[in-house]
Amino acid sequence: MVQVHEIDITSIEVGDRQRKDLGDIESLKFSLDTKGLLQPIVVSKRPDGRWNLVAGGRRLTAAKELGWKVISASLREELDELERRELELEENLRRKDILWHEEVKATAEIHRLKREKYGKSLPGRFGRGGWSQKDTAREIDVSEGKVSQDLLISEQLANHPELLQYQNRKDVLRAIRHLQDGIGLEDSLFMKKV
C-alpha cells in the first residue's frame, strides 16, 4: 500500500543515482515555489529509521535549495534493492527532459534488472519463460525495435565511450554502423564539435 506523508528532508539518503545531470533546477525551483510540489517524491524506509530516495531526485534537490524542511513523500514498504532501482529508472524514462544517453542506459538497466529477476527467455521465435526484449518494450511502453536499438547503443557505449559526443540517437546509430563497417568515428561528419 502506498501512503503519502510529510517527512523531514534531512532524513532522506540519496545514494548513487542513475541520472547524473539534474537539468534545469532553477525552473523547477520556481515551479515548486509558486505551485508547490505536484507529485510527491518516493522513498522507502531504512532499518535505521531514515529514508532511501527511490524517485524524485530533482524535486528533492530543488526543495533543499529552496530551504524546505519537509517534503511530501510516497512511502513504499519492503522494496528490495532491485525494486527500488526499477522504480527510479522507470520514472526517469517517463521524463520529458532526459538526455538520449540517460534514456538508453535506463532502458538497458531495466532490461538487465528484469532478466536478473526473471531469467533470460529462451532463444527463438517461440522462446518460453524468462524476460525478453518484448517484455521490456511492454514494460516501458515503447517498441521492441527501440529497446533493441537502446541495448545495442548501450553495449557500444561501454566499448566506445566517445559515442557520448554525438548529439542524438540517430547520429549514434550511424556511428555504430560506421564502426561495424570498419570506419573510424573520427571520419564521421555528423559528430558534434566539442
Phi, psi angles (nearest 5°) of residue 35: -115, -15
* pLDDT of residue 193 exceeding 50: no
| DSSP structural state of residue 130 | S
Distance CA 180, CA 154 (A): 15
Distance CA 189, CA 153 (A): 19
- Architecture of the structural domain at 3-79: Alpha-Beta Complex (3.90)
12-70 pLDDT, tens digit per residue, is 988 766 556 677 788 888 888 888 998 899 888 888 889 988 888 889 999 999 999 99
Can you give the three-state secondary structure of 71-110, one letter per residue?
A: EEEEEECCCCHHHHHHHHHHHHHHCCCCCHHHHHHHHHHH
Secondary structure (3-state) at 6: strand
Q: For the whole model, what pTM was predicted?
A: 0.58
Residue 194's pLDDT band, with cuts at 50, 70 and 90, is very low
* Residue ranges of domains in the chain: 3-79, 99-187
